[in-house]
């Protein structure tokens, strides 16, 4: 089925999320929609799926104008969507999830689970999915859950499949498998829309590429285009994709973590006997799939975790059991994983957020009184130095874009005398232009002789920034390897396979 | 690799016609969007005068203040209906409405106009008065009623800003009144200013401790402050009732009534404008408290941490702020402010001895005042004076026009009800929503699409 979007415009108040977007997706084609966070990709797809009503424009399937009042209409017309956040009921089985919403019943309103099972079997067999219809969804790995989503869409005879940032939660291996599935679906004649902001994936799998920026189509490209070309289209200017850094100069100072165990409130061990060392002047990237204990590890470094055993020493001083205040005063800079929740106070101004971690003493406070003159001068300086795009330092930080918010956090954390810098997911939800800037600042901090710990789930970022990479899996350290370790080895390690075995497998392959 | 022309035929449907939902804020929002995308580092020089005006207008229209004013207007309008219904003249005239409809409208005008002019006469200026003192007396009465409302309102507002819902105004006022009163009549032989100071400090300290207890329980054990403060209200009420009924404690000697002895003159707040007015120096203390709270919240390190914890406790914790300490100390200060209200009652308002109704509902009215004032010190001042005016004028309204003073309470309650529902006020007055862009919701089905599709 041929999908055509004509002049789709969607406004939220004065914000034009989609501005006359045209898009044609042919059957048997993977059409990639490339754009930064906030470019309007998801809005467009929500319009297509009937979740939003377009202010202007029309949707055509095989040249027939469609009217979708909701997702039900879109599904009935043959559009299936695989959401970034799975729309599955965790405690239901695969078959139950697949039939959800279009249940077939037998006499007396009894569910025809057998029909759903048969359907799951049939689709699984066709695509080699190996999905058990009776497995409970919450017990399945993320990659398999995604296949359940795909089965769900296919079970409704979807001819147009939309994948919304499908690789965000996958290991590199799972990503490869997903791409194989997408190709297979294409070869069977589906029209596929693949939404992403990861350049590598686009070039690997897309047949055609449409780039969106600020709600407008800014260009089309072929997968033969280079990363740099695609990135500059996406951002609107040329972008440095590589992180330039010299060989590390190691110093004797540093962070030593020994036998660290962090237990969550529910009593499960989330960081399991972790030991590592970071020396001044090097970047250690903690890689791994989201939710394998990285978050808790960094929070333990800052003293945020209540139940911690083992030892964390910074330049010989023990940090376990100390208050957050004390640890900050020891010279720890911390960029939390979720900046809106943990890093910033949205209602506070930029100037106020920049002094958030120093609100109890000089230079921001004297005799219990805030030094407004100093605060504002400091804020003006930092806004200029970190290139925060804003109307002024009194703007509430919640009104800034993700990248500018992250620059505010970074400006605050890097403006103290640091002896350790910890950044969790420093570039998540940040535009490409800001990523470049943030990476440069992290490398500059390392070059100043500070030990740097970066948590990243993006392999590209890990490889670009790291001097050494530590891979975590289910709370344990799988291994610490050099930054030039091949991607497939890192990918296998992220699935819990030891570096030695991973290297062996990598060589065989 | 060129951008395709994306204008299609579909633009015909939405050409020059104004979008119905367009409000005065859109120009400013666009301005901001542009500025956000602008490549200039700080600020945007291109913001023209018209844009600034539109921005100022938008900010005024979408500010919580406008909602407060709208709520007051709406409540007064609703109060008019109540007055009309309860007025005898209107009831009589409406009985022969179809014979002489004009009579009903005249009666309506008289009832509503009379009631609100009585409210004004009783709360601001008495224009019928023959001498100056009688003329401005209503205003001083208003300020006098407003004094404890402002102080207690500040206490609730400050706790709000620290993320705490202080429902314990009643209890804090009662213990403060008891402590201040006890120092007042229980201690003798201390000269005037010192005795007053001792009584004030005792009242403020008692209120602070009573609220601080709730803060401590919250910080240490996570007990919810709403439940704890409500329960402490009961504890205080029955404890004071017991003390008042027990000879040798708070009960006046030789009396069997649950009432204390009068406050001696050495512990009384002196009149501010001479003996002919009830207004005391307590009002000045309330004003000082307004300035003090403003400084605390906006200019001090402690206030910064209160607000940080109130807005986002997680981020405050990550930034090294001791959230437990902020909780306890903000409750201490809040309780102290409510304590000032309790002390000003005993040392200024009711000096003839008090019983367990000394809080006079102020502890709960304070919540309303804080809400109406948008939890800002100046807002609380304005709201406190407004409520003081309602209290002062309500009596006149009843005496002069026969309007039940309960109607004033209805109006007060309606104000809060309307404030609690900002979207309702915005819908009625067509005000823009400041949060709209941050949380885009699915708009109702636009009919234009259908028209277009049909065309």
User: How many domains are contained in chain B?
Assistant: 2
What pLDDT is stored for residue B76 in this prediction? 83
pLDDT for the residue numbered B212: 96
- Given an 8 Å threshold on Cβ–Cβ distance, is A53 in contact with B9? no
- Burial (0-12, 13-18, 19+ Cβ within 10 Å), A507: exposed
- Decide if A55 and B14 are in contact by the 8 Å CB cutoff: yes
- When pLDDT is cut at 50, 70 and 90, the band that residue B49 belongs to is low
Q: How much is the average pLDDT of B228-255?
A: 89
Residue B14 is assigned to a structural domain of this protein: no
Same-domain pairing of B298 and B347: yes
Angle formed by the axes of helices B64-86 and B49-62, to 10°? 50
- State the Cα torsion A119-A121-A125-A128 to the nearest 10°: 110
Query: Within the 360-389 window of chain A, which residues sit less than 8 Å (CB to CB) from chain B?
Result: 360-361, 365, 368-370, 372, 380, 383-384, 387, 389
A493 to chain B, any CB pair closer than 8 A? The answer is no
Distance CA A55, CA B442 (A): 12
- In chain A, % helix, strand, coil (3-state, to 5) comes to 35, 25, 35
Distance from CA of B208 to the nearest CA of A (A): 20
* Residue of A9, A217, A341 lying closest to B3 (CB–CB): A217
Show Cβ contacts of residue A343 under 8 Å, excluding neighbours closer than 6 positions.
A335, A336, A405, A409, B315, B318
Choice among B10-24, B199-213, B340-354, B398-412 with the minimum mean pLDDT: B10-24
Topology of domain A3-235, CATH:
Rossmann fold (3.40.50)
Do B118 and B255 have their domain in common?
no
Residue B5 counted as domain residue: no
Contacts of A406 in chain B (CB under 8 A): none
Same-domain status, B230 and B105 = no
Distance from CA of B444 to the nearest CA of A (A): 8
Check whether residue B300 and residue B365 sit in a common domain.
yes
The pLDDT value given to residue B35: 41
Instruction: State the pLDDT at residue B354.
Output: 86
Number of helices and strands in chain B (H, E): 18, 0
Question: What's the confidence (pLDDT) of residue A476?
Answer: 94
The answer to whether A440 contacts chain B (CB < 8 Å) is no
pLDDT in tens, A296-331: 999 999 999 999 999 999 999 999 999 999 999 999
Top-confidence residue, B82 or B13:
B82
Looking at residue A245, its pLDDT comes to 86
B377 in any annotated domain: yes
Give pLDDT, residue B428: 79
User: What share of chain A has pLDDT > 70, as a percent?
Assistant: 98
What pLDDT does B66 receive?
Answer: 80
Contact call for B41 and A217, based on CB within 8 A:
no
Residue B135 has pLDDT above 60, yes or no: yes
Q: Are B289 and B353 contained in the same domain?
A: yes
In chain A, what percentage of residues exceed pLDDT 90? 42
Which pLDDT value is given to residue B140?
92
Q: What kind and span of H or E run contains B285? A: helix B282-299
d(CA A104, CA A373): 69
Q: How confident is the model at residue B294 (pLDDT cuts 50, 70, 90)?
A: very high
Residues B169 and B91 in one domain: no
Q: Is residue A24 over pLDDT 60?
A: yes
- Among A65, A218, A361, the residue with its CB nearest the CB of B453 is A65
Query: If pLDDT is split at 50, 70 and 90, which confidence band does B406 have?
Result: confident
Three-state DSSP at B164 gives coil
Q: Per this entry, what is the length of chain B?
A: 455
C-alpha–C-alpha distance, residues A3 and A48, integer Å: 10
Long-range contacts of B294-299 (CB under 8 A, 24+ apart): B294/B376, B294/B377, B294/B378, B296/B158, B296/B333, B297/B158, B297/B161, B297/B377, B298/A370, B299/A369, B299/A370, B299/A372
Smallest CA–CA distance from B450 into chain A, residue = A67
The predicted structure's pLDDT at residue B24: 38
* pLDDT for B37: 40
| Structural domain boundaries, residue B115 | 59-123+403-432
Is the pLDDT at B364 greater than 70? The verdict is: yes
Note whether B408 and B372 are same-domain residues.
no
Is B45 a domain residue?
no
**B171 within a domain of the structure (yes/no):** yes
A217 touches chain B (CB under 8 A): yes
Sheet containing strand A79-82, strands side by side? A79-82, A160-164, A191-196, A29-34, A208-213, A216-221
Per residue in B425-441, pLDDT (tens digit) is 777 777 776 654 433 33
Average pLDDT over residues B332-353: 93
Q: How confident is residue B359, by pLDDT bands cut at 50, 70 and 90?
A: confident
- Model confidence at A240, pLDDT cuts 50, 70, 90, reads low
Regarding whether B283 and B416 lie in a shared domain, the answer is no
**Cβ-defined contact of A391 to B6 (cutoff 8 Å):** no
Q: Rounded to whole angstroms, how far apart are CA atoms A166 and B32?
A: 32
pLDDT digits (tens, 9 = 90+) for B96-118: 888 888 888 888 888 888 888 88
**Closest residue, chain A, to B33 (C-alpha):** A15
Tell me the nearest-neighbour CA distance from A485 into chain B, angstroms. Answer: 34
pLDDT reported for residue B28? 40
Query: In the prediction, which pLDDT does A161 show?
Result: 92
Q: If you average pLDDT over every residue of chain A, what do you get?
A: 88
**How many beta carbons lie within 10 A of that of residue A376, not counting itself?**
15
Q: pLDDT band at residue B443, thresholds of 50, 70 and 90?
A: very low
Average pLDDT of the residues in A73-80: 89
CA–CA separation, A388 vs A441, rounded Å? 14
Contact between chains at A356 and B308 (C-beta distance less than 8 A): yes
Is position B173 within any domain?
yes
Kind of pairing between the strands at A420-424 and A332-335: parallel
3-state secondary structure of A191: strand
pLDDT at B145: 93
Every domain range in chain A assigned CATH 3.40.50.300: 3-235, 254-342+402-508
- CB-CB: which of B41, B308, B437 is closest to A387? B41
pLDDT score of A213: 85
**A91-123 pLDDT tens trace:** 999 999 988 877 777 777 788 888 889 989 988
In this structure, the answer to whether residues B373 and B407 fall within a common structural domain is no
Average of pLDDT values for A394-417?
A: 90
Whether the ipTM is more than 0.90: the answer is: no
Give me the pLDDT at residue B109, please: 86
Q: Are residues B271 and B408 in the same domain?
A: no
pLDDT of residue B412: 75
Please check whether the domain covering A254-342+402-508 is classified as CATH 3.40.50.300: yes
Asked whether the beta carbons of residue A346 and residue B13 sit closer than 8 angstroms, the reply is no
Cis peptide before A2 (omega within 30 of 0): no
Looking at residue B62, its pLDDT comes to: 66
Residue B20 has pLDDT above 50, yes or no: no
């Amino acid at each position: 089925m041929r999908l055509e979007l004509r002049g789709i415009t969607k406004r939220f108040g004065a914000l034009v999320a989609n501005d006359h977007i045209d898009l044609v997706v042919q059957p048997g084609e993977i059409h990639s929609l490339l754009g930064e966070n906030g470019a309007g990709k998801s809005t467009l797809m929500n319009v297509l799926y009937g979740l939003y009503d377009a202010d202007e424009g029309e949707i055509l399937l095989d040249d027939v104008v469609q009217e979708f009042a909701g997702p039900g209409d879109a599904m009935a017309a043959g559009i299936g969507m695989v959401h970034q956040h799975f729309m599955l009921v965790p405690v239901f089985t695969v078959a139950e999830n697949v039939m959800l919403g279009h249940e077939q019943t037998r006499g007396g309103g009894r569910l025809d689970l057998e029909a759903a099972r048969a359907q799951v079997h049939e689709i699984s067999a066709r695509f080699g999915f190996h999905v058990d219809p009776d497995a409970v969804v919450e017990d399945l790995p993320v990659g398999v859950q995604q296949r359940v989503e795909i089965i769900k869409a296919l079970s409704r005879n979807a001819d147009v499949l939309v994948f919304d940032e499908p690789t965000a939660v996958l290991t590199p291996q799972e990503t490869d498998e997903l791409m194989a599935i997408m190709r297979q679906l294409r070869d069977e004649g589906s029209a596929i829309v693949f939404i992403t902001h990861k350049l590598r994936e686009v070039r690997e799998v897309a047949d055609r590429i449409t780039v969106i920026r600020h709600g407008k189509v800014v260009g089309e490209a072929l997968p033969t285009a280079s990363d740099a070309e695609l990135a500059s289209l996406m951002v609107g200017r040329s972008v440095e994709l590589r992180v330039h850094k010299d060989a590390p100069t190691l110093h004797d100072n540093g962070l030593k973590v020994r036998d660290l165990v962090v237990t969550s409130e529910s009593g499960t061990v989330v960081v399991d006997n972790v030991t590592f060392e970071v020396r001044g002047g090097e970047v250690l990237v903690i890689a791994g799939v989201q939710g394998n204990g990285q978050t808790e590890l960094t929070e333990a470094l800052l003293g945020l975790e209540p139940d911690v055993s083992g030892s964390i020493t910074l330049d010989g001083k023990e940090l376990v059991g100390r208050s957050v205040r004390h640890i900050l005063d020891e010279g720890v800079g911390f960029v939390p994983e979720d900046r809106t929740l943990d890093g910033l106070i949205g209602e506070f101004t930029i100037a106020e957020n920049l002094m958030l971690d120093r609100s109890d003493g000089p230079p921001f406070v004297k005799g219990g009184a805030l030094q407004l003159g100093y605060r504002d001068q400091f804020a003006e300086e930092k806004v200029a130095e970190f290139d925060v795009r804003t109307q002024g330092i009194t703007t509430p930080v919640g009104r800034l874009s993700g990248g500018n918010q992250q620059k505010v956090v970074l400006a605050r954390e890097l403006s103290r005398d640091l002896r350790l810098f910890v950044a969790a997911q420093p570039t998540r939800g940040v535009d490409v232009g800001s990523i470049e800037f943030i990476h440069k600042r992290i490398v500059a901090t390392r070059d100043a002789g500070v030990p740097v710990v970066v948590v990243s789930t993006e392999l590209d970022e890990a490889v670009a920034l790291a001097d050494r990479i530590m891979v975590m899996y289910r709370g344990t350290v799988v291994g610490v390897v050099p930054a030039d370790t091949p991607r497939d080895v890192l990918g296998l390690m992220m699935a819990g396979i030891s570096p030695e075995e991973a290297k062996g497998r990598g060589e065989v392959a | 690799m060129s951008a395709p022309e994306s204008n299609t035929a579909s633009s015909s449907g939405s050409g020059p016609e104004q979008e119905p939902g367009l409000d005065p804020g859109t120009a400013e929002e666009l301005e901001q969007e542009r500025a956000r995308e602008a490549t200039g580092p700080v600020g945007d020089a291109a913001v023209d005068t018209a844009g600034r005006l539109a921005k100022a207008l938008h900010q005024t229209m979408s500010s919580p203040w406008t909602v407060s004013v709208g709520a007051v207007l709406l409540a007064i309008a609703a109060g008019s209906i109540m007055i009309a219904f309860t007025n005898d003249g209107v009831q009589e005239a409406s009985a022969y409405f179809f014979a002489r409809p004009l009579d009903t409208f005249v009666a309506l005008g008289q009832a509503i106009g009379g009631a609100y002019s009585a409210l004004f006469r009783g709360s601001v200026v008495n224009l019928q008065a023959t001498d100056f003192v009688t003329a401005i007396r209503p205003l001083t009465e208003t300020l006098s009623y407003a004094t404890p409302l402002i102080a207690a309102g500040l206490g609730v507002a400050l706790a709000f800003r620290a993320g705490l819902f202080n429902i314990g105004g009643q209890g804090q006022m009662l213990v403060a009144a008891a402590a201040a009163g006890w120092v007042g009549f229980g201690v003798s032989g201390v000269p005037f200013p010192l005795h007053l100071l001792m009584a004030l400090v005792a009242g403020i300290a008692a209120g602070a401790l009573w609220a601080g207890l709730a803060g401590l329980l919250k910080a240490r054990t996570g007990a919810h402050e709403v439940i704890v403060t409500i329960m402490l209200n009961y504890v205080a009420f029955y404890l004071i009732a017991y003390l008042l009924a027990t000879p040798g404690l708070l009960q006046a000697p030789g009396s069997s009534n649950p009432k204390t002895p009068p406050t001696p003159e050495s512990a009384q707040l002196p009149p501010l404008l001479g003996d002919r007015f009830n207004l005391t120096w307590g009002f000045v203390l309330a004003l000082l408290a307004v300035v003090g709270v403003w400084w605390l919240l906006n200019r001090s390190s402690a206030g910064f941490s209160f607000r940080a914890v109130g807005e986002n406790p997680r981020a405050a914790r990550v930034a090294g702020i001791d959230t437990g300490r902020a909780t306890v100390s903000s409750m201490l200060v809040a309780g102290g402010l409510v304590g000032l209200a309790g002390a000003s009652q005993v040392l200024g308002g009711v000096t003839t001895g008090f019983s367990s109704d000394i809080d006079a509902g102020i502890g709960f009215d304070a919540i309303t005042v804080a809400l109406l004032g948008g939890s800002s010190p100046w807002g609380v001042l304005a709201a406190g004076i407004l409520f003081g005016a309602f209290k002062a004028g309500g009596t006149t309204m009843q005496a002069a026009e026969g309007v039940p003073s309960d109607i004033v309470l209805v109006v007060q309650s309606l104000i809060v009800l309307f404030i609690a529902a900002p979207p309702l006020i915005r819908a009625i007055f067509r005000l823009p929503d400041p949060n709209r862009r941050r949380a885009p919701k699915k708009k109702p089905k636009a009919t234009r699409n259908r028209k277009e599709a049909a065309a």
